[in-house]
A and B are shown apart, each in its own frame.
Chain A
Amino acid sequence: ETGVTQSPTHLIKTRGQQVTLRCSSQSGHNTVSWYQQALGQGPQFIFQYYREEENGRGNFPPRFSGLQFPNYSSELNVNALELDDSALYLCASSPGNTGELFFGEGSRLTVL
């Protein structure tokens, strides 16, 4: 059974650029959630996708957007990057919209 995988693991962007982060959910999991974790802080909920539809969103601006594909993998897109977007972006999958989350190792984004 393959766990949650994320790519890329590290990337550096400059202000104003756009970034796409990718996540493959664990086999059999139809729900994917994205979290942002700033240094020294707890993860902050960005949004969740369930069966290809957005299923809840945290307090993030519209320039944070996402997709879920028929194989339940997912993308997080961030437009017009700001310095404060520098963080570890975590993807988590689950076999439904309740219960525990299974996290990937994250994508560390640095915005210069």
Chain B
Amino acid sequence: SQQGEEDPQALSIQEGENATMNCSYKTSINNLQWYRQNSGRGLVHLILIRSNEREKHSGRLRVTLDTSKKSSSLLITASRAADTASYFCATDAHYGNNRLAFGKGNQVVVIP
């Protein structure tokens, strides 16, 4: 099955709240990446976390990686309406290097 699978749920939150989404994968990885996509447009890279890292921050984003559980989480703090998008995790496990296998995505709606 596909590497990098998010909990396939739509998340609706109020502006200012935190949003958390999870991703699991099945085999060893070198790194895991998170991307954002607005309304069927191109994907935008958010953050890359390497297999030897446990946590990484970028602005309001916090990513954790648990290689023993083969899972990752993306936390968006103090959400804004502009964060409304689909979020995908992707790993290099299946194809190697940056030939990525993406999950099905998590749709997040932030209500102003």
Residues of A within 8 A of B (CB): 4, 31, 33, 35, 37, 39-45, 48, 55-56, 58, 88, 90, 92, 94, 96-106, 108
Of the candidates A31, A40, A56, A96, which one forms a contact with B95 in the assembled complex, judged by CB atoms under 8 Å apart?
A56
Over the window 85-112 of chain B, the binary record of Cβ atoms lying under 8 Å from chain A Cβ atoms (1 yes, 0 no) is 0001010001111111111110000000
| A42: B residues at CB distance < 8 A | 2, 4, 88, 90, 102-105
Residues of B within 8 A of A (CB): 2, 4, 33, 35, 40-45, 48, 88, 90, 94-105
Of the candidates A39, A48, A108, which one forms a contact with B99 in the assembled complex, judged by CB atoms under 8 Å apart?
A48
Contact between chains at A45 and B100 (CB < 8 Å): yes
Contact between chains at B99 and A45 (CB < 8 Å): yes
Contact between chains at A98 and B104 (CB < 8 Å): no
Q: How far is the CA of A96 from the CA of B94 in the complex (A)?
A: 18
Known: A42-B88, A56-B96, A58-B95. A105 touches B102 (CB 8 A): no
Q: SS class of chain B's interface: helix, strand, loop or mixed?
A: loop
Contact between chains at A101 and B88 (CB < 8 Å): no
Known: A105-B41, A106-B41. A31 touches B98 (CB 8 A): yes
Q: How far is the CA of A6 from the CA of B35 in the complex (A)?
A: 19
Some 27 contacts from A to B, beta carbons below 8 A apart, are A4-B42, A31-B98, A35-B102, A37-B40, A40-B104, A41-B105, A42-B88, A42-B90, A42-B103, A42-B105, A43-B43, A45-B95, A45-B101, A48-B98, A56-B96, A56-B97, A58-B99, A90-B43, A94-B98, A97-B98, A100-B98, A101-B43, A101-B98, A102-B45, A103-B43, A104-B42, A105-B41
Who on chain A is nearest to B107 by CB? Answer: A40
Contact between chains at B104 and A99 (CB < 8 Å): no
